[in-house]
Structure 1
Amino acid sequence: METIKTLNKWANVNTALPIDMLRIGLGVFLFIKGINFMTSSQILVDLLTPFQNWGGSMLILHYVAPALFIGGLLIIFGLLTRWASLAQIPILIGAIAINFFGEIHLLDLAIATITLFISLFFLIYGSGKNSADYYFKKQQ
């Protein structure tokens, strides 16, 4: 817990607008992906065809779209950013795995990998100064 507090203090002192813009951009990207999967669930079903014989594919189908949608909103506002980023990690690892078990699409693989690294960054860094987390912490 001390490590998280130390990292949070460092993030609040060294925050910059470009990092906040990166957080908002990540949130918008995840939000749009969530909407995309909600409006056309057949895309998600087609993506999961390499895993159709594995157990829990329906669970995955019902987890991915809402987690992207809600997690994207939380990341945009900087509310529970670490938790929202943590919820994205299994989805992004699955997106990378789909490229190796199914047909490899280099662009999708690159986007999933970059998004995974950005999510890992915000899992460690937190939401920064221009966020709802920081605002609520100052109100206490």
Structure 2
Amino acid sequence: MAWTNNVDSWQTKHHPIIYDIGRVALGLFLLYKGLMFISDTSALAQIMEKSQFEFVALGLAHLVAFAHLVGGPMIALGLKTRFAAAVQIPILLGAVLFVNPDRGFYSENTELWLSIITLVLLVVYLIGGSGYYSLDRKMDEHATRTDPLWHHDTHSYD
């Protein structure tokens, strides 16, 4: 993917620290939301009551929690960020399109706005990748030093 290599080479040259701070904040926020989701049993019970397919709703609830609990730290650390963001995007699309609009597009509906902002940030990190200060870059540097056949410009930070 040529465009990911272009984005990665730009980040390597410029080191935009705000990008990496945003990635860490996004990952920690997703982890927090995952923890809140599994600790709020009343919201989980409410999802189950509204659903005609209780087992599907229960499975989706567990999938959302697992994706946030695993994907959030991956994004925060810059470990396979593009993959972790790609997994989170359908969940946030569901939150934006199906869950939060029931409450309306009012300024008091902070959950909807947080979901929209999180979705936009996930798309940014899906396109931009891990960034300069990430585990992916550190692992690439280590591979470059230990493998003489490694060509750094042909690899992108996921």
Q: TM-score, normalised by structure 2?
A: 0.79
Distance 1:130 1:3 in 2: 20
Whether 1:125 aligns to 2:124 is: no
Question: Aligned ranges for residues 1-140 of structure 1 at < 5 Å?
Answer: 1-47=1-47, 52-53=51-52, 56-96=56-96, 97-100=98-101, 102-104=102-104, 106-140=109-143
Distance 2:125 2:141 in 1: 20
Q: How many residue pairs get matched?
A: 138
Distance 1:71 1:94, change over 3 A: same
CA deviations over 1:52-83 (Å, ceiling 9, x no partner)? 13683222111001100111110111101111
Long gaps (5+) in structure 2: 144-158
Indicate the structure (1 or 2) with the bigger Cα radius of gyration.
Answer: 2
- Does the 8 Å CA contact 2:48/2:58 hold for their aligned counterparts? no
Residue 16 of structure 1 deviates from its aligned partner by 1.1
Residue 49 of structure 1 deviates from its aligned partner by 5.5
Query: Over the residues paired in the alignment, what is the CA RMSD in angstroms?
Result: 1.9
**Corresponding letter in the other structure for 2:72:** G
Distance 1:57 1:128 in 2: 35
- Does the 8 Å CA contact 1:48/1:98 hold for their aligned counterparts? no
| Partner-residue secondary structure (3-state), 1:117 | helix
Distance 2:140 2:48 in 1: 40
Instruction: Indicate the percent of aligned positions where both proteins have the same amino acid.
Output: 31
CA deviations over 1:85-104 (Å, ceiling 9, x no partner)? 1111011111112123x333
Distance 1:21 1:49 in 2: 39
Residue 40 of structure 1 deviates from its aligned partner by 2.4
